[in-house]
């Protein structure tokens, strides 16, 4: 009995240590998995996958979007169902992410999710949402460091669209007018959390160039 209590005591101690380590390293592990999810999706993305994604349904209910959790990240890493639509890059702040369809947990644990069902690159107001994380390099966190005049790029692997940042503000979460189309205006709008989730960062850019995708101009997404 004494030996059994000793074994149980050691087991409890080891369990407490493991739980403590999990709590301590939860955020770094989560950030690593997020980066891995996004990079895997970028590397493996093909034109055929993008074409198939256009026929899939997405989740576009803003009210269902929740703060990113370790569980969501692990699920996205193990069965990533996020439908790829292209790639996003802002070289000045080191942002390189897949563009995925809709606002599901899998999508937002992987990259930038489209905010409207029928968006088309290079047309209207192409709006993407992404999570803000404490790690400066994860998901849409780098948006906080963007500056007016910097270039943003998106591609569907057929064309590369270049936008120049013209607007950056912290806005109220109800400012949905920012993702609405404007007559004769081609915009890229990126939305993420600010002030601990109370408000939102909104970064917008005007379309300045459209080019056919080549190995050279696709390098910006690698």
Cβ-proximal residues to 25 (8 Å cutoff; 6+ apart), any chain = none
pLDDT of residue 37: 81
- What DSSP string runs through 99-166? EESSS-HHHHTTSEEESSTT--TTSSEEEEE--B-SSTTSBTGGGGG--TT-EEEEE-SSEEEEEEEE
Mean pLDDT of the chain: 85
In Å, how far from its chain's centre is CA 7?
A: 46
Model pLDDT for residues 6-47, shown as the tens digit of each residue: 544 554 444 444 444 443 446 777 777 788 788 888 889 999
Instruction: Between 12 and 72, name the one with better pLDDT.
Output: 72
Instruction: Please report the pLDDT score of residue 181 as a whole number.
Output: 95
Q: Would the pTM count as exceeding 0.95?
A: no
Which residues, in sequence order, are bridge partners of residue 160?
Answer: 155, 211
Strand partners, 205: 165, 188
Average confidence (pLDDT) over 84-109: 94
**Cα(219)–Cα(222) distance, integer angstroms:** 5
Q: Which residues are catalytic?
A: 131, 193
Residues 128-181 pLDDT 10s: 999 988 766 689 999 999 999 999 999 999 999 999 999 999 999 999 999 999
pLDDT for the residue numbered 84: 93
| 197 has a pLDDT exceeding 90 | no
Q: What is the domain partition of the chain in residue ranges? A: 1-221
Strand partners, 212: 159
Over residues 189-207, the mean pLDDT reads 93
- Assess whether pLDDT exceeds 90 at residue 77: no
Does the domain at residues 1-221 carry the CATH identifier 3.40.50.300? no
Confidence of residue 201 (pLDDT cuts 50, 70, 90): very high
């Amino acid at each position: 009995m004494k030996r059994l209590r000793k074994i149980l005591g050691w087991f409890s101690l080891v369990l407490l240590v493991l739980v403590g380590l999990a709590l301590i390293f939860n955020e770094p592990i989560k950030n690593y998995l997020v980066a891995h999810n996004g990079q895997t999706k970028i590397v493996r993305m093909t034109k055929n996958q993008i074409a198939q994604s256009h026929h899939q349904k997405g989740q576009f209910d803003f009210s269902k979007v929740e703060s990113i959790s370790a569980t969501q990240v692990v699920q996205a890493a193990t069965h990533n169902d996020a439908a790829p639509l292209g790639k996003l890059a802002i070289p000045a702040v080191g942002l390189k992410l897949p563009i995925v369809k809709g606002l599901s947990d899998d999508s937002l644990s992987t990259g930038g999710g489209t905010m409207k069902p029928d968006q088309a690159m290079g047309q209207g107001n192409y709006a993407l949402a992404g999570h803000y994380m404490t790690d400066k390099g994860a998901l849409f966190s780098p948006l906080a460091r963007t500056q007016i005049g910097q270039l943003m790029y998106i591609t569907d692997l057929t064309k590369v669209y270049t936008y120049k940042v013209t607007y950056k503000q912290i806005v109220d979460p109800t400012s949905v007018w920012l993702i609405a189309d404007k007559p004769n205006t081609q915009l890229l709008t990126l939305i993420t959390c600010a002030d601990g989730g109370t408000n939102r960062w909104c970064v917008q850019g005007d379309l300045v160039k459209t080019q056919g995708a080549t190995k050279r101009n696709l390098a910006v997404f690698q």
